[in-house]
Amino acid sequence: MRLLVIEDEQRIVDVLKTGLVNAGFIVDAVNTTADADNALNCISYDAAILDLGLPDGDGLNVLKLARSHGAQLPILILTARDAIEDRVQGLDAGADDYLIKPFAIKELVSRIKALLRRPGGALGAVLNAGNVTLDTIGREVTVAGNPVVLSRRELSILEHMLRRFGRVVPREVIEEKLYALDHEPESNAVPVHVHHLRRKLTEGQATVEIHTVRGIGYLLAEQTQ
Amino acid sequence: MKILQSGSLQLRLALRLGTVFLIATILAVALFFYLGNRTADALTRQDLFGQADSLAELLDERRPLMPFDQLVADRIIEANTAFVIRDQDGNVLEMSDEAFDLATRNYSASRGRSLFFTLDAFGAQSQPYSGLATREGSERGRITVIVAEPYNPENAILNAMLSEFAGTATWIIPIFVVVTVLVGVAAIRGGLKPLLDTALQAASIRPESLSVRLETTDLPTEIAPMVTAVNQALDRLEEGFEIQRRFTANAAHELRTPLTIISGAIENWDTQTDAGTLRQDVDRMNRLVNQLLQVARLDSGVLDRSEKFDLQSCARDVVEYMAPLAIDRQRRVALTGVVSPVIIQGNRPAVEDALRNLVENALIHTPIGTEVQVNVTEDHKIEVTDQGPGIDDDFGMYIFDRFWRDPSNDTPGAGLGLAIVSEVMKLHEGTVDYFNRPEGGACFRLKFGPELAA
Q: Quick check: A102 and B332 CB within 8 A?
A: no
pLDDT at A105: 86
DSSP state of B20: H
Inform me whether the C-beta atom of residue A125 falls under 8 Å from chain B C-beta atoms: no
Share of chain B above pLDDT 90, in %: 19
Q: Quick check: B336 and A166 CB within 8 A?
A: no
Nearest to B257 among A12, A19, A83 (CB): A12
Q: Quick check: B316 and A19 CB within 8 A?
A: no
Cβ atoms of A213 and B319 closer than 8 Å = yes
pLDDT at B444: 95
Q: Quick check: B267 and A105 CB within 8 A?
A: yes
pLDDT (mean) for B108-112: 70
Q: Quick check: A84 and B348 CB within 8 A?
A: yes
Cβ atoms of B143 and B86 closer than 8 Å = yes
pLDDT at B3: 52
Which residues in chain A have their CB less than 8 angstroms from residue B270's CB? Answer: 22
DSSP state of B393: G
Residue B83 has pLDDT above 80, yes or no: yes
* Closest C-alpha to B293, from B415, B427, B420, B423: B420
Number of CB pairs, chain A paired with chain B, less than 8 A apart: 99
**What pTM was computed for the model?**
0.62
Give SS3 for B383: strand
Instruction: Give the closest-approach CA distance of B268 to chain A in angstroms.
Output: 6
pLDDT at B153: 57
CA–CA gap between residue B317 and residue A70 (Å, rounded): 31
Inform me whether the C-beta atom of residue A103 falls under 8 Å from chain B C-beta atoms: yes
Which domains, ranges and CATH numbers included, belong to chain A? 2-116 (3.40.50.2300), 126-222 (1.10.10.10)
Inform me whether the C-beta atom of residue B377 falls under 8 Å from chain A C-beta atoms: no
Inform me whether the C-beta atom of residue B205 falls under 8 Å from chain A C-beta atoms: no
Q: Which long-range contacts (CB under 8 A, 24 or more apart) does B327-330 make?
A: B327/A211, B327/A219, B327/A221, B327/A224, B328/A221, B328/A224, B329/B363, B329/B368, B330/A224, B330/B368, B330/B369
pLDDT (mean) for B402-420: 77
> Which backbone phi and psi does A222 adopt, to 5 degrees?
-65, 150
Q: Quick check: B267 and A19 CB within 8 A?
A: yes
Inform me whether the C-beta atom of residue A225 falls under 8 Å from chain B C-beta atoms: no
Chain B nearest-CA residue for A80 = B253
Tell me the pLDDT tens digit for each residue of B14-69.
788 878 888 888 888 788 878 877 777 787 788 888 888 888 888 777 667 777 88
Q: Where are the alpha helices (DSSP H) in B204-310?
A: 224-269, 275-299
Q: Where are the beta strands (DSSP E) in B298-425?
A: 307-310, 332-337, 343-346, 371-377, 381-385
pLDDT-based confidence at residue B355 (cuts at 50, 70, 90): very high
Q: Quick check: B263 and A211 CB within 8 A?
A: no
Query: Could you tell me which residue, B395 or A225, shows the higher pLDDT?
Result: B395
Query: Could you tell me which residue, A100 or B434, shows the higher pLDDT?
Result: B434
pLDDT at A85: 66
What average pLDDT does the structure give for chain A? 86
pLDDT at B1: 43
pLDDT (mean) for B292-314: 82
Which residues in chain A have their CB less than 8 angstroms from residue B289's CB? Answer: 102
Which residues in chain A have their CB less than 8 angstroms from residue B286's CB? Answer: 102
Residue A49 has pLDDT above 90, yes or no: yes
Nearest to B319 among A11, A18, A213 (CB): A213
Instruction: Give the closest-approach CA distance of B418 to chain A in angstroms.
Output: 21
Instruction: Give the closest-approach CA distance of B3 to chain A in angstroms.
Output: 46
Task: Please count the CA atoms within 13 angstroms of the CA of B65 that sit on its side-chain side.
Answer: 24
Which residues in chain A have their CB less than 8 angstroms from residue B268's CB? Answer: 15, 18-19, 22, 105
Residue A51 has pLDDT above 80, yes or no: yes
Inform me whether the C-beta atom of residue A99 falls under 8 Å from chain B C-beta atoms: no
Nearest to A216 among B316, B324, B373 (CB): B316
Inform me whether the C-beta atom of residue A12 falls under 8 Å from chain B C-beta atoms: yes
Residue A30 has pLDDT above 90, yes or no: yes
Residue B137 has pLDDT above 80, yes or no: no
Residue B430 has pLDDT above 80, yes or no: yes
Tell me the pLDDT tens digit for each residue of B212-267.
788 877 777 877 888 888 888 888 888 887 787 777 667 766 787 788 888 888 87
Least-confidence region, from A171-180, B308-317, B353-362: A171-180
Instruction: Give the closest-approach CA distance of B393 to chain A in angstroms.
Output: 30
Chain A nearest-CA residue for B254 = A80
Nearest to A168 among B268, B323, B328 (CB): B323
Q: Quick check: A80 and B256 CB within 8 A?
A: yes
B213-222, B275-284, B359-368, range with greatest mean pLDDT: B359-368
CA–CA gap between residue A195 and residue A62 (Å, rounded): 45
Inform me whether the C-beta atom of residue B278 falls under 8 Å from chain A C-beta atoms: no
Least-confidence region, from A64-78, A188-202, B239-253, B387-401: B239-253
DSSP state of B122: B
Which amino acid, residue B43?
L
Q: Quick check: A80 and B371 CB within 8 A?
A: no
CA B166 to centroid of chain Cα atoms: 39
Cβ atoms of B4 and B188 closer than 8 Å = no
Inform me whether the C-beta atom of residue B333 falls under 8 Å from chain A C-beta atoms: yes
Query: Could you tell me which residue, B381 or A128, shows the higher pLDDT?
Result: B381
Q: Quick check: A19 and B264 CB within 8 A?
A: yes
User: Which of B314, B327, B373 is most worth mutating to test chain A (most A CB atoms within 10 A of its CB)?
Assistant: B327
CA–CA gap between residue B429 and residue A83 (Å, rounded): 22
Inform me whether the C-beta atom of residue A171 falls under 8 Å from chain B C-beta atoms: no
pLDDT at B89: 80
Give contacts of A 26-55 with B, CB under 8 A.
53
pLDDT-based confidence at residue B144 (cuts at 50, 70, 90): confident
pLDDT-based confidence at residue B451 (cuts at 50, 70, 90): low
pLDDT at B116: 82
CA–CA gap between residue B381 and residue A97 (Å, rounded): 31
pLDDT at B323: 93
pLDDT at A84: 60
Give SS3 for A124: coil
pLDDT at B215: 80
Q: Quick check: B320 and A167 CB within 8 A?
A: yes
pLDDT-based confidence at residue B336 (cuts at 50, 70, 90): very high
CA–CA gap between residue A202 and residue B413 (Å, rounded): 36
What average pLDDT does the structure give for chain B? 82
pLDDT at B104: 82
Chain A nearest-CA residue for B339 = A215
Nearest to B320 among A101, A212, A216 (CB): A216
pLDDT at B358: 93
